[in-house]
Amino acid sequence: MSKHRLRGRSNRHLRPKRYDAGMSVSPLALLTGKCPRCCRGRIFKPVWGRTIMSMNPDCPNCGLHFEREPGYFVGAMYVSYTIGVALVLPVALVLILLAGWGVVPVTIIAILETLVLMPLAFRWARVFWLHMDFAFFPR
């Protein structure tokens, strides 16, 4: 038996079991806010009865701990910013360029739109961040 084969066999039983060993993202789980590992457990708690930003610390189905380390979701702020710009900028441009509105009313509309869409952008950003992280570093 070769040396290489022995090394491979001896470590196999010590490796943690992975659900997914490769870079893949489930689009349905991403869109529905489900766990990136099992694609079944909800990342966020149901909206009714709680705040819209209540997140499960672990996946209720497979137990994946969502916040990998303190400050893990800081990177999701970039995603949230991108989502916010993608939602607010087209409306502002249409109001300015096509409807001929002034800067002040468009700014007020943009602020109101941001306040209304902020909780959704928060959720989408964290879900996207989790799925992107899991695609590159599966656990």
Residues in contact with Zn ion by the rule CB under 5 A? 35, 37-38, 41, 59, 61-62, 64
Min. distance of Cβ 138 from Zn ion in angstroms? 12
Query: Three-state SS for 23?
Result: coil
Q: Cα-flanking dihedrals φ and ψ of residue 27, to 5°?
A: -60, -35
Min. distance of Cβ 63 from Zn ion in angstroms? 7
Two tokens, residue 59: 């996946």
Beta carbon nearer to Zn ion, 19 or 101: 19
Beta carbon nearer to Zn ion, 84 or 131: 131
Query: Three-state SS for 20?
Result: coil
Question: Helix (H) and strand (E) counts for the chain?
Answer: 4, 0
Beta carbon nearer to Zn ion, 61 or 114: 61
Min. distance of Cβ 37 from Zn ion in angstroms? 5
What letter would DSSP give residue 75?
A: G
